Structure 1
C-alpha cells in the first residue's frame, strides 16, 4: 500500500522539482544578465538607467579617474541619497579623498593657494563627517591627519569665559602670565 502511494506521488514530486530547478536557473540567468549590464555601464561610465547605488559609486570612481570631477561629485551625491550605510560612507570618504587630491594638485601644479585651502578644508570636513558615522575607519583617520598636517586647524584662544576678567581661573591666569605685555613682535618669530 505504501509503495503504491509512493509511486503515485513520484511523478508530481519530480515535476515540482524540475519546475523549481528551472525557476532557479531562470533567476540565475536574470541576475547574471543584470550584472553583465551593470558591468558594461560601469566600463563605459554610462549613466545607469535604474539608479543602482553600487553602479553609481563605480561610475563615480571611473568618472573621477577620467577627470570628469563634476559628474563624479553628482554621482557621489546620488549614492549618498540612494545607498545603504556602507555605500554612503564610501561615497563620503571618496569625495573627501577627491578634494584632498585636488587640493594637493592645485597647490603644487597650479600654485593657487586660496583654491587649495578651500579644497583642503572641504576634504577635512568630509573626513570628519565620515568619521562621525564610522569612527573606526582608520583610512579616513589617516587621511584626515594628512589633511591636518597640510592645513592645521587654528583655534583662537579665548582667555575669558564670559568676557569678565574677574572670572579667569588660576590655570588661565598662569597661562596668560606667560604672554608679554610688550608692544611689537617678539624676537625670533619673524
Structure 2
C-alpha cells in the first residue's frame, strides 16, 4: 500500500512538472481575456441603454440591424410613432430573427398602432379606399402580436377596434344619402336561429 502511494505521488509530480508553467501563464491570460470580454459587453450595454433612453425621449438615433433586441424595439417604436414604417421594416425583420417573443409582440403592437392611426387619418379625410388596406395591415400586426404573446391586452383591444372599424365601413362606391340595397334572400338567414326561407 505504501509503495503504491509512493509511486502515484511520483507519477503526479512528474505530470505536474510540464503542466505547471503552462497553467501559470495560461490562467492569467484566460482571466484577462474574460475580463476584456466582460468590459466589452458592459460598454455595449451602456451604449445601448443610452441610445434607448434617447429614443424614448424623442431623440433620433441610428440603430444597426445587429443591435441588441431591446435597442431594436426602441428604434421600431420611435419610427412607428412618426409614421416612418418603411425604415422600421428591416429592423422588425432583424428583431424577428433574434428577439424574445415578448419584444417581438411589442414591436408588432407599435406597427399596428401606427397603421391604425394612418387609417383613422384617411377616414377623417373621407378616403375609404386607402383606409381599408391600412386597417387590414393593422389587424395583421395585432394578430401576430397575439400569437407571440396571447395575454397582450393592448393587442386584443386594438384588434377588436380595428375589426369593428372594418365591419362598420359603409359600402364602397355608395354616394352620400343613397339608401343601402337590401337583399331579401339574406335578411332572414343572417339572423341566428331563424329558419331559411320566407318568415
TM (norm. structure 1) is 0.60
Residues 77 and 23 (structure 1 numbering): CA distance in 2 closer, same or farther, change over 3 Å?
closer
Higher relative contact order, chain-length normalized (CA < 8 Å, sep 6+)? 2
> Matched residues in 2 for 1:178 and 1:125: separation?
39
- Once the two structures are overlaid, the 10-residue window that deviates more, 114-123 or 23-32, is 23-32
Which residues in structure 2 correspond to 1:34-113 (within 5 Å)? 34-42=44-52, 43=54, 44-48=60-64, 50-108=66-124, 110-113=125-128
> Matched residues in 1 for 2:163 and 2:68: separation?
34
- Contact persistence 2:119–2:131 (CA under 8 A): yes
- Contact persistence 1:45–1:63 (CA under 8 A): no
Corresponding position of 2:195: 175
- Once the two structures are overlaid, the 10-residue window that deviates more, 141-150 or 87-96, is 87-96
- Contact persistence 1:41–1:48 (CA under 8 A): no
Residues 178 and 121 (structure 1 numbering): CA distance in 2 closer, same or farther, change over 3 Å?
farther
Q: Tell me the CA shift for residue 40 of structure 1.
A: 4.7
> Matched residues in 1 for 2:141 and 2:83: separation?
20
Q: Which of 149, 162, 170 is matched with 2:164 structurally?
A: 149
Secondary structure at the aligned position of 2:63 is classed as coil
- Contact persistence 1:64–1:72 (CA under 8 A): yes
Q: Which of 125, 135, 141 is matched with 1:120 structurally?
A: 135
Residues 102 and 83 (structure 1 numbering): CA distance in 2 closer, same or farther, change over 3 Å?
same
Root-mean-square deviation (CA), in Å?
3.3
Q: What do residues 69-128 of structure 1 show as CA deviations (whole Å, max 9, x unaligned)?
A: 2102332232122212222222222222221121112222x4321111111111112222
Gaps of 5+ in 1: 1-19, 160-170, 180-190
Secondary structure at the aligned position of 2:167 is classed as coil
Corresponding position of 1:139: 154
